[in-house]
Homo-oligomer: A and B are copies of this chain.
C-alpha cells in the first residue's frame, strides 16, 4: 500500500489558498481518518511572490503548471484556475498522464463536462468535483451516494451565493440592485465582473451539472432557460412581500413525464418557507426523492474555506481509492457511462407555473377588464389582484397573481396586453414556486 497520497495544485487563488490551509491545518485529523498523510507537494501559479498568508513548505511553489502535470510522483491534480480553455487542457493532460483530478470548475464541467467525463472514464482515473456545486455543502455526494436508491423527482435551490447576498440586502434594506451590487463589489462579495453571478449563469452551470448527475443525462447548457436578478426592481420585492412571498434566484429541476423542467430565474417563494429564509451567501438545495421524500441541505455556497472543505473531501475520497488501487468506484457521471440516456429539457414555453404579473398602466376605466379578459381568453385564471401607487396622471402598477397556467398562454396574453394603448411599460413576469418545504 502507498505510504502517502501526493497532491499537486494548479491555481493558488482564493480556493487554492483554502485548500492549502485545510490540508496543512487539518493534516493530523485527516491522517487519522485516511491512514496515510495527504501531502501537498506542488502548487503552480503565475504569481508565486505575493504573500497569501499560508505557510507553504519550501520548494512547493512553482510557476510551471507542466511540472505538476508531468510529475510521476503526483497522484492527484487539483485544478483551480477556473475558465474554459486552459483549465480544460490541464485537466485532459492530467487525465492522459493517468492522474486523478479534482476541480471546482462548474463552468467548465457544465459546458465541456461530457468530454471530460468521457476522458476520465476511458482512462480509468478518478474525477472529483464536489466543490463545483453548493460550496461546502456535500450535495453531489448526497445525490450520487446518499440518495442513490431514489429516483430524484425534483431539485430546487439557491445555488449562487453572490446573487442571494444581493437579493437578501435588497429585500432587507429596500435598496436598488445597482447600489447593493457596488457595495458588494467593495466588500468582496461580488467580483469585478459579476455577470455570471448576477445573470444566473453560474446557477445554471450548477443546475446543469446536478441534472446530469441526478437524471443520468447529458445536458446542453443552452437548453436551460436562465434569467438573472439585474433587472429586478425593489417594487417587485415589495409587492411580493404584500402577497406573502420573498423573491429568490432559484435553480429548479423537476422530472415530469420523462422530461426535465430545468430553469433558473428569480422566483417568488412563500416567505414562511425555509428557502425564503436562506440569507446572505448561504445556499440551500431541496431534493425530493421518490423514496426518501424531502431532503434539504444548507450551508455556505462559496468562500475560501467552505469550498476548500469540499475540494479536500474529493482529495480524500480519491486518496482512499488510490490506496486500494481502484478508480471510479462511483461512476463519474453517477450513472454507468453506457447506461445514460438523454432526457429532454423542457423548453420554457412548455412549462406551467403560477405567475406574478406586474402591469404598468395608465389608470383609466376598463383597464382591469381588458387585461383580465385577455388572460381569461388564454385560459389563465387569476388568484389575486393588487393595485397601488396611484398618482394623478402617472402610470400605476397593477399586480395580478395567477393560478397554475401554461407559460405559452401567459406569454401569448402578454404580447397582446403589452400593445394595449393604456400599457405604459412592458409587463414584468415572475414565476412562483410553492414547492418549497413548509
Contact = CB atoms under 8 A, between A and B. Distances in A.
A420 interface: no
B290 A26 contact: yes
B147 A313 contact: yes
Contacts of A339: 31-32, 35
5 contacts: A142-B146, A145-B316, A274-B274, A291-B308, A293-B305
Contacts of A148: 30, 33, 312-313, 316-317
A34 B293 CA distance: 22
A22 interface: yes
B299 A293 contact: yes
B141 A146 contact: yes
A271 to B, nearest CB: 12
Q: How many copies does the complex hold?
A: 2
Interface of A: 18, 21-22, 25-26, 29-35, 130, 136-138, 141-142, 144-151, 216, 274, 277, 282, 289-300, 303, 305-306, 308-310, 312-313, 315-317, 320-321, 324, 326, 329-331, 334-336, 339-340, 437
Contact of A317 (B29, B34, B145, B289): B145
A309 to B, nearest CB: 4
A293 B300 contact: yes
Contacts of A31: 339
Given A22-B291, A295-B299, A138 B149 contact: no
Contacts of A26: 149-151, 290-291
A147 B33 contact: no
B313 A324 contact: no
Contacts of A289: 136, 309
A274 B277 CA distance: 8
